[in-house]
């Protein structure tokens, strides 16, 4: 683990331990009041020290973590989890992930709406076959 006397920004730490995908997302969350450090809101440039407690709200879930080591550079998830203790209550860990109200794959859902060109041709062929 890193030494405790070096300065490490909140946004860089949260990005390095993989709470946020990008450092700018971490900074925006700090500015938007989604990150609380030791009970109070925090700015992105505030230095982090071992023992600090964070409450973080992301789109996916809520986090309650305690810093046990300082990590300046992003590493693999298996390494990053060694630098904090996750004290998040179980119900917040298992909260339903954010899902879009309409999941659009680009394909039309079957039997809903107008027929596709292919469906229309088979319908026309079916109808024409009846007249004989």
CA dist 13 and 101 (Å) reads 33
Q: pLDDT in tens for each of the 132 residues of the chain?
A: 544 456 899 999 999 999 999 999 999 999 999 999 998 999 999 999 999 999 999 887 888 999 999 998 999 989 999 999 988 887 777 655 555 555 556 666 666 778 788 888 888 887 777 554
Residues 6 or more apart whose Cβ sits within 8 Å of residue 82: 1, 68, 69
Q: What is the pLDDT of residue 4?
A: 47
Find the CATH number of the domain harbouring 38.
3.10.290.10
Q: What is the pLDDT of residue 132?
A: 47
Q: How many residues does the chain have?
A: 132
Q: What is the pLDDT of residue 16?
A: 94
| Total structural domains within the chain | 1
3-state SS track over the chain: CCCCCCCCEHHHHHHHCCCCCCHHHHHHHHHCCCEEECCEECCCCCECCCCCEEEEECCCCEEEEEECCCCCCCCCHHHHHHHEEECCCHHHHCCCCCCCCCCCCCCCCCCCCCCCHHHHHHHHHHHHHHCC
Q: What is the pLDDT of residue 112?
A: 75
Range of the domain at 2: 1-132
How is the beta sheet containing 40-41 ordered, strand by strand?
A: 40-41, 35-37, 53-57, 62-67, 84-86
CA separation, residue 21 to residues 14, 66, 125, 126 (Å) = 9, 19, 52, 53
């Amino acid at each position: 683990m890193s030494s405790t006397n070096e300065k490490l920004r909140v946004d860089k730490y949260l990005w390095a331990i993989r709470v946020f995908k990008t450092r700018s997302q971490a900074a925006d969350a700090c500015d938007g009041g989604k990150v609380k450090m030791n009970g109070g809101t925090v700015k992105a440039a505030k230095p982090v020290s071992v023992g600090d407690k964070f409450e973080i709200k992301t789109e996916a879930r809520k986090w309650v973590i305690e810093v046990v080591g300082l990590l300046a550079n992003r590493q693999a998830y298996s390494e990053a989890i060694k630098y904090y203790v996750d004290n998040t209550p179980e119900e917040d860990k298992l909260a339903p992930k954010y899902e879009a109200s309409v999941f659009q794959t680009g394909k039309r859902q079957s039997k809903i709406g107008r027929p596709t060109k292919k469906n229309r041709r088979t319908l026309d062929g079916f109808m024409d076959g009846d007249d004989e």
